[in-house]
Amino acid sequence: MLSSSVSTDRSLPFSLDLRPRPETLRDLFTDRPTQAIGIGKAAFWEGDTASHVTLVIEGCLRLYRILPDGQRVIVGFAFKGEMLGLSSPHVYAYTAEAVTPVRLGRVAMSRFREIVDGSTVLRPQFLDLLCEEMREARRHMILVARLSADERIASFLLSAARRLGTDRDDRVVVDLPMQRLDIADHLGLTIETVCRVLSRHKRAGTIEFLERNKLVLRKMSTIRELAGWSDDDAGCYSPSRSRTADVVH
């Protein structure tokens, strides 16, 4: 009689991971705990160890540095869907402070880089975001160093519209939750200049105020021309274009 034996050894020569592989960098934050931060609270501070990559799920943050003389310089703002800490391998280069109530997702820096390094899909996305940060920094240097107040405001409005995904319509609604002083500190202007330029745009019909911090960009072609943006670029400054636009009176 033949005897049959059933092996009880169920070990496999490979590990079976049934979790779906992330297709985008934002997928890394799926099913992760989130953190709520109130207005004026910091997600992290300049000089802190860069321990996590942070995704803005809801809300807006101001990103600023403090100069040796105590002056605050706002280097940018972070909106819904944007990631912070990608270019900070050791310490955070700025403080991220909540402008509105904010909800954040976090992934440990070491884990984030481990997953990205091992993925041929995620590595190009990571590189694209780093390049975008460099382009934005270069654009901002030109903006502060060379452009007039009207050109700076126009460029800021277009940048906010593009990042919020609303820049392709003829009538664009832009929510700007930050204070006028925040905009001034970001653009290297005084708060009086920011208010004066916005009022001038309002009188000219270029923009319309729905609320104090919600604007309608009514003449996109005029704003693009004043800022030096082409209709299909991502904010690349073109002196030959911007200088053809007269200041709004």
213 contacts: CB under 8 Å, gap ≥ 6: 175, 176, 177, 178
Residue-level pLDDT at 66: 92
What is the set of domains in the chain, with CATH numbers?
25-137 (2.60.120.10), 148-242 (1.10.10.10)
pTM score above 0.85 = no
Per the DSSP assignment, residues forming a β-bridge with 196 are none
Q: List Cα–Cα distances, 221 to 68, 168, 171, 241, in angstroms.
A: 41, 11, 11, 12
Averaged pLDDT, 13-42: 81
Per the DSSP assignment, residues forming a β-bridge with 98 are 61
Q: How far apart are CA 50 and CA 42, in angstroms?
A: 14
Cα three-residue angle 210-154-212, rounded to 5 degrees? 25
Residue-level pLDDT at 249: 39
CB atoms within 10 A of CB 7: 5
Residue-level pLDDT at 110: 93
Q: List Cα–Cα distances, 148 to 84, 92, 184, 186, in angstroms.
A: 29, 31, 13, 14
pLDDT in tens, 114-139: 999 999 999 999 999 999 888 888 88
118 contacts: CB under 8 Å, gap ≥ 6: none
Q: How far apart are CA 91 and CA 52, in angstroms?
A: 10
pLDDT in tens, 177-225: 999 999 999 999 999 999 999 999 999 899 999 988 899 998 888 888 8
